[in-house]
Amino acid sequence: MFISFEGLDGCGKTTQAAMLAAALELEGRTVVRVREPGGTPIGERIRELLLDGDSVIGGAAEALLYAAARAQLVDQVILPALARGEVVVADRFIDSSLAYQGVARGLGLEQVLQANELATGGLMPDITLLLELPPELAAARRGDTPPDRIESESDGFHAAVAEGFAAAAARFPERIHVVDASGPPRAVLARVREAANL
C-alpha cells in the first residue's frame, strides 16, 4: 500500500507520517518512509539544488528537477518496497508538484501531470492525506528555522499553493482525503486514520 501526506510547509506532515508509520509498525506492518525531494543519492543532490536559496531556477526546470528526483525514488525505493508487500509512507509526492509548480508557479495541472507520467510510470498513491491548515498558521508553525528557497517565497505564493492543493483534491477526489490539521498531533492522527480507514 502506498500512502502519501501532502500540505503546506509547516502543516505537520512529517510528524503525522512518523506517527502513522509507528502505529502501523506496532500492528506488524513493515513500513518504508520516504521524503521528497530526496531519498536516493541522486535525489538528495537534486534536493540541494532545489532548496538552495542561491539557485535561480525557471518554473519548467523546477518541475522537471522535482520529477527527476521522484523518478529515481520510484525506481529505487518505492516500487521495490511495494513489490515486497510493504507499506510506503511518503512525505510529499506528485500533489506537491501539482500545487507548487502546477498552480503556484503557473505551469498548469495537466502539464505537470504529463511530466510526472514519465517520472512515475503512472504510479499514484493509493491514499493521499492532505493536511489542511490556514496558511498563516502553517507559517507560524514553521517557526524560527532558516527558510529554504521555497519557504522564503511570499505569503501570496503560499496562498496559491493552498489553492493548488485544493485543485488537486478536486481533480482526484477518490484518492485525496482532506484532513483538518489543527489541534494536537494525536487528534490529527485520529482524523488521518479515520479518513484513510487505516
Q: Does 36 bind ligand TYD (CB under 6 A)?
A: yes
CB of 46 to ligand TYD, least distance (A): 10
Task: Give the number of C-alpha atoms closer than 13 A to the C-alpha of residue 99, restricted to the C-beta side.
Answer: 25
Give CA–CA dist 111/166, Å, rounded: 17
Binding of ligand TYD by 9 (CB under 6 A)? yes
- Residues 139, 10: contact at Cβ < 8 Å? yes
Taking CB under 6 A as the criterion, the residue among 100, 128, 168, 181 binding ligand TYD is 100
Interface with ligand TYD (CB under 6 A), residue from 3, 32, 37, 135? 37
Q: In this chain, which of 72, 96, 120, 128 binds ligand TYD, going by CB under 6 A?
A: 96
Cell 518512509 locates to 33
Interface pattern 38-57 for ligand TYD (x via CB under 6 A): -------------x------
Closest by CA to 6, choosing from 194, 188, 187, 177, is 177
Q: Which is nearer to ligand TYD, 32 or 165 (CB)?
A: 165
Contacts 24+ apart (CB under 8 A), 14-17: 14/91, 15/185, 16/129, 16/131, 16/181, 16/185, 16/188, 16/189, 16/192, 17/89, 17/90, 17/91
Any contact of residue 132 with ligand TYD (CB under 6 A)? no
- Interface of this chain with ligand TYD, residues 61 to 90, rule: CB under 6 A: 66
Which of residues 9 and 132 has its CB atom nearest to ligand TYD in the complex?
9
Rounded alpha-carbon distances, angstroms, from residue 113 to 61, 63, 179, 190 = 15, 10, 23, 31
Determine if 182 is a binding residue for ligand TYD (CB under 6 A): no
Name the site residues for ligand TYD (rule: CB under 6 A). Answer: 9, 13-14, 35-37, 51, 66, 91-92, 96-97, 100-101, 148, 150-151
